[in-house]
Structure 1
Amino acid sequence: MDVVVLIGRILFAVLFLGSAAGHLTQADGMAGYAASRGIPAPKLAVLGSGVLILVGALSVLLGVWADLGSLLLVLFLLPTAVLMHPFWKETDAETKQMEMIGFNKDVALGGAALALFAFFAHTPELGLTITGPLFHLN
């Protein structure tokens, strides 16, 4: 079972590590998109969110307070869904569809990260982690 959880953590974290790399190496381009969505201090927001994603993903991947790492990913994903993918504001059908896909992806990943938080915080012996959970749910 420990190996299955480790494989799941790896597969989950890979997406976020790639996203964090994009935020940190392509901040100028991503800041333009963030600015178009009305995000204040867009370059700082892109860099800050890149660090948030990186820390959360590494935490889940390595098993260093993976429960906290999962919450960091939720903290990124749910506001991002609403702020960056407001499909309800779009009038063009194709743009609306693309934004709805982005919104649903972020909400679904946020739900998965929240479920991981509960799993990590409820399971005292995770196996194949560096630390145990920071939070403890019964």
Structure 2
Amino acid sequence: MDIVVLIGRILFVVIFLASAAGHLTQPKAMAGYAQSKGIPVPTFAVFASGIVMLLGGLSILLGIWPDLGALLLVIFLVPTALLMHSFWQESEPDARQNEMIQFNKDISLAGASLMLFAFFAATPTLGLTITGPLFIIV
């Protein structure tokens, strides 16, 4: 079962590590999009969100306080869904549909991250982690 959990962790974090790389290597392009969504201090927001995704993704991947990494991703995903993908504000049908898809993706990933948090905190010895969880749920 440990190998299955490890494979799942690897597959789960691919999107976050790839996105973090984009945020950290192309901050100006990403900041322009954030600014168009009304995000204050967009360059800082892009950099900070890239760091959060990188830390959360690496934490889960490497198994170093993976429960904390999962919480970091929840903290990133929920505001991102609400602030960056507010489909209800779009009037053009294609843009509305695209933002709805991105909103639903972020909310679904937030739910999965929350489940991972509970999983890691409740089963500290499963999954070939380097450290145990930071939080313990009994």
Structure 1: how far apart are the matches of 2:124 and 2:24?
A: 34
The correspondence of residues 81-120 of structure 1 with structure 2, limited to 5 A, is: 81-120=81-120
Structure 2: how far apart are the matches of 1:83 and 1:127?
A: 34
The correspondence of residues 1-138 of structure 1 with structure 2, limited to 5 A, is: 1-138=1-138
Q: TM-score, normalised by structure 1?
A: 0.99
Structure 2: tracts of 5 or more residues without a match:
none
Query: Aligned-pair RMSD on alpha carbons?
Result: 0.6
Shift of 1:126: 2.0
Shift of 1:124: 2.2
Shift of 1:15: 1.0
Amino acid at match of 1:11: L
Amino acid at match of 2:96: K
Question: What SS does the corresponding residue of 2:80 show, helix, strand or coil?
Answer: helix
Shift of 1:10: 0.2
Amino acid at match of 1:52: V
**Could you list the per-position Cα deviations for residues 34-73 of structure 1 after superposition, in whole angstroms to 9, with x for gaps in the alignment?**
0011100000000000000000000000000000000000
Structure 2: how far apart are the matches of 1:31 and 1:44?
A: 8
Identity of aligned residues (%): 67
Structure 1: how far apart are the matches of 2:95 and 2:124?
A: 45
**Closer/same/farther in 2, CA of residues 3 and 22 from structure 1, 3 Å limit:** same
- Check the 8 A contact 1:126/1:132 in 2, yes or no: no
